[in-house]
Structure 1
């Protein structure tokens, strides 16, 4: 994969990341446990415009939320293998109480987790403030697979596997 030579602006990075993660239904949110182990949980991606923050809805009584309260440094990863796109976002978790934001993010899908609906006292808004990310974009499966196969057969490194960049937010 080729490296981006110039560091994009924060706005350009946010736009690029937002474009990649838009439409990805689930993310993996990784926390650090009390024992110091990394533990990832699938979370439903909120359909809001990415502006440097990522929002989730979780349960106050979950290990995941308790871990974020004690150790707020987290990672959120997105994967869209059909398009060959991947994003890893490092950030700081905040546990937020904001009824207006909850109403903005709420859907009846969450009733499966919160039987009392939007008024369930166990609901916890989670805001991840991104401080950096790395992403990978490929031009498509067939081209990428061909490049990888050619590299394996010839013993030469594969070239033009897409774009990889690390950005500071």
Structure 2
């Protein structure tokens, strides 16, 4: 692990995830099983917090309320970018933040719009992340092939773990 400042880590993770529209939010259910849920990434700058909207009546929201440790995964295979963020979820009531992240896209899930009583604002306070970043598909394949032919570890890009 390279020593980076919190600001450098936030900037790097933010840059990697900024254009990823969907993420997988993994929670732990009442039996200790991990369950992943696709979530829409909010168009807000990453400052260590990740925001989602969910339904108060959903299993995933209940699970986060009872067991707040979660993981959020982002993937851009076309760019060779993979990010895993760990943190604690909290269920937030904040009208100003809701208005900031709201879009009419959510009417498909919340028919009453922004005033739907089932809307739950979810904040993930990230405490760490790991990312993988490669130089692209062709270079990654060449690195993999070299590794297989030489018996040496394939160099396929950058892998870093950061504390946030």
- TM-score surpassing 0.5? yes
- TM bucket normalised to smaller: over 0.9
Q: 2:159 maps to what in 1?
A: 164
Q: Which runs of 4+ in 1 moved over 3 A?
A: none
> C-alpha displacement at 1:155, in angstroms?
2.9
TM-score scaled by structure 2? 0.97
**CA drift at 1:156:** 2.7
Question: Tell me, what secondary structure is at the counterpart of 1:82?
Answer: helix
Alpha-carbon distance in structure 2 between the residues aligned to 1:32 and 1:147: 36
For 1:156 and 1:129, the matched residues in 2 are separated by: 39
Structure 1, unaligned runs of 5 or more? none
1:58 lines up with 2:63 in the alignment: no
CA deviation profile, 1:136-164 (whole Å, cap 9, x unmatched): 111111101111122223333212x1111
- Counterparts of 2:129 and 2:78, CA distance in 1: 21
- Structure 2 residue ranges without an equivalent (≥5): none
- Give the number of aligned pairs: 164
Normalised to the residue count of structure 1, the TM-score between the two structures is 0.94
Residues in 1 aligned to 2:74 and 2:103: alpha-carbon distance in whole angstroms? 21
